[in-house]
Amino acid sequence: MSMTSVRRWYPLLLVVLSLFAHPSNIESASAAESEPPKLLGFATQWDLIPEDVSTLSSSVGKPPAIYQSFWTLEMDYPDSGLIGGLDGLDSLGMTPYLELTTDDLGAVLEGRRDEVLDQVIRVSEQWLAGRSGRYLLVAPLAEANLVEHRWGGDPDGYRSVYAYIHDAFRSAGMGRDRVRFVFAMNGLDTSGYPYSRYYPGDEYVDILGFAKLNRGGRDYEEVFAGHIREMQEEIGYVKPILITQTGTIDTASDPMGPWLNEMFDGLLGEEQVLGAIYFNRNKDKDFRVVKNGWVHPSFADGYATWSDSSDVAWVFDGRMDAWIADREAWYSRFVDIASSTFFDDIMWIADQGITQGCAPGRYCPDDPVSRAQMASFLARALSLPAASSDYFDDDAGVHEDNINRLREAGITFGCAARAFCPDEDVTREQMASFLARALGYPEASADWFSDDDGSTHEPNINRVADAGVTFGCGSGVYCPGDPVTRGQMAAFLHRALGF
């Protein structure tokens, strides 16, 4: 195959690859249909709940899916008051998200708060039994990584009390089809402990969560993306993430409209994010987007692109469990990449069918890539057709077919006459030439690196740098003679093909 033909079919290949760029696409059709909804939650001044929720519902044509409420285990409530509050939220079309708090972690563990906890459970059970389609989200001791909270800054105590409350609900017969538990942290953290230090364990947590407000000058990266990555790295990529509280101010230097647009659009594209609860309060700062019968246009427009409130059923009816099980299977394929810088890149090339790993359940991210392995990486990535000839005499083995495919496509010419040197490590400069030829990159606009002068691969190194496939190994250097690791190989291919 000529390089002209490679360049001709490559754009079509990218379109095809993009259809398979997510783990869900290897799942069954029914699993693919059970992707998380994007649920909007809401929290406003308690005496304005009916007015503000009705205003938002009338503006957008649907109520928020979730409402944030707070109960403390230090206070006895009349049953009628608790039932009335839950009924009020239900009548407005919202599922309660209940944050339970306490002044004394030890008192809970010693049973001295059991009377109030039992009342909360009894009332919740009675309310849920009132009709089908009622659900409850429970977040014990939310934002416990803030020492400012009376229950904060004690990871061991938090984990124990979280498990105690969880087990009390479950022991009362309140199953996962009606009640789900949320591990809710704060993005700020004043305790000095990572999320993982507080995490009570997968058996106690259904949904991950964090809160973060924009009090001024905090963009999407600081409020959302950075903490999503932190939650993924500390806890995992498997369970859905709920933004348990967020909001923004409105100033001349930090206008509300663009921030809201970025929030709705950005979170819509976060595959692991289940939704976000908006803090519609004028507290120390004014975060309100609904007030006095008015809804901020950007908030209304953004929420219109998110899911209906009825889609909260996804969390409780088994679809979320199936989604989690699929992700557990997906992300456990390679047991040796959890701490790799190239985790996302490795998962991407595995998703494309470009790699099957180095052994069952392993990828070996730090191992060097041989020239033979490189041939198979590229042949699979580019879906190269079978070759018509056997070009080399030294390539007998599992990679021989792919080596010949690469040669016929004009991507490699071997290391000598009728020799490919399949067992030699691929160097970074060779990698550049493989990719530049395979993808037909044009001549570079600049000389990007100072340490590749005199290399026969220099033009191709500059081509892949120009294309954004490599950024070098340091400031202005490429390290052309260094071997390429399997992790780096994944990054090269992801940048080149994943756009």
Q: Which two tokens stand for residue 261?
A: 């647009």
- Alpha helices, H only, 382-468: 400-408, 428-439, 458-466
Cα–Cα distance list, 361 to 236, 271, 416 (Å):
18, 24, 36
**Of 246 and 18, which is predicted with more confidence?**
246
The pLDDT value given to residue 81: 83
Report the pLDDT value the prediction gives residue 23, as an integer from 0 to 100: 35
The residue to which tokens 């100033």 are assigned: 251
For residues 491, 492, 496 and 499, what is the CA-based torsion angle, rounded to 10 degrees?
10
- pTM (predicted TM-score): 0.74
In angstroms, rounded to a whole number, what is the distance separating the alpha carbons of residues 243 and 233? 17
Q: What mean pLDDT is predicted for residues 51-71?
A: 97
Q: For 120-134, how does the pLDDT look when each residue is reduced to its tens digit (9 = 90+)?
A: 999 999 999 999 999
Identify the H or E element spanning 137.
strand 136-140
- Residue 12 — very low, low, confident or very high, per pLDDT cuts 50/70/90? very low
Domains of the chain: 3-20+335-426+483-497 (no CATH), 34-329 (3.20.20.80)
Q: Residue 497 pLDDT > 80, yes or no?
A: yes
Q: CA angle at residue 351 from 269 to 357, to 5 degrees?
A: 140
pLDDT tens per residue across span 267-304:
999 999 999 999 999 989 999 999 999 999 999 999 99
Q: Round to whole Å and give the CA distance between 242 and 292.
A: 28
* 347 three-state secondary structure: helix
Q: How confident is the model at residue 77 (pLDDT cuts 50, 70, 90)?
A: confident
Q: Which of 415, 410, 401, 409 is nearest to 371 (CA)?
A: 415
What DSSP designation does 210 have? E
Q: In angstroms, rounded to a whole number, what is the distance separating the alpha carbons of residues 395 and 191? A: 58
Q: Is residue 4 very low, low, confident or very high in pLDDT (cuts 50, 70, 90)?
A: very low
Taking only the tens place, the pLDDT of each residue in 391-447 is: 999 988 899 999 999 999 999 989 999 999 999 999 999 999 989 998 899 999 999
Displacement of CA 156 from its chain's centroid (Å): 27
Instruction: Answer yes or no: are the C-beta atoms of 22 and 269 closer than 8 Å.
Output: no
34-48 residue pLDDT tens: 789 999 999 999 999
What is the rounded distance in angstroms from the CA atom of residue 85 to the CA atom of residue 94?
12
Look at residue 18 in the predicted model and tell me its pLDDT.
Answer: 30
Residues 38, 306 contacting (CB under 8 angstroms):
yes
The pair of structure tokens assigned to 135 is 């659900």
**pLDDT greater at residue 24 or residue 374:** 374
Spatial CB neighbours of 171, under 8 Å, sequence gap ≥ 6? none
SS3 of residue 110 by DSSP: coil
Instruction: Tell me how far apart the alpha carbons of residues 36 and 50 are, in angstroms, rounded to a whole number.
Output: 28
In this structure, the chain runs to a length of: 499
Give, as one character, the DSSP assignment of residue 444: P
> What pLDDT was estimated at residue 499?
53
Q: How far apart are CA 499 and CA 14, in angstroms?
A: 9
Cα 261 to chain centroid, rounded: 19
Contact 220, 248 (CB under 8 A): no
Q: Which residues contact 80 (CB under 8 A, 6 or more apart)?
A: none
Q: Is 69 helix (H, G, I), strand (E, B) or coil?
A: strand
Helix (H, G, I), strand (E, B) or coil at 208: strand
Return the pLDDT at 5. Answer: 36
* Residue 158 confidence (pLDDT) above 70: yes
Strand blocks (E) in 177-314 = 179-186, 207-211, 241-246, 273-280, 290-291, 294-295
Average pLDDT of span 106-110: 97
Question: What are the tokens at 400?
Answer: 């021989």
CA distances from 99 to 71, 138, 141, 245 (A): 6, 6, 7, 11
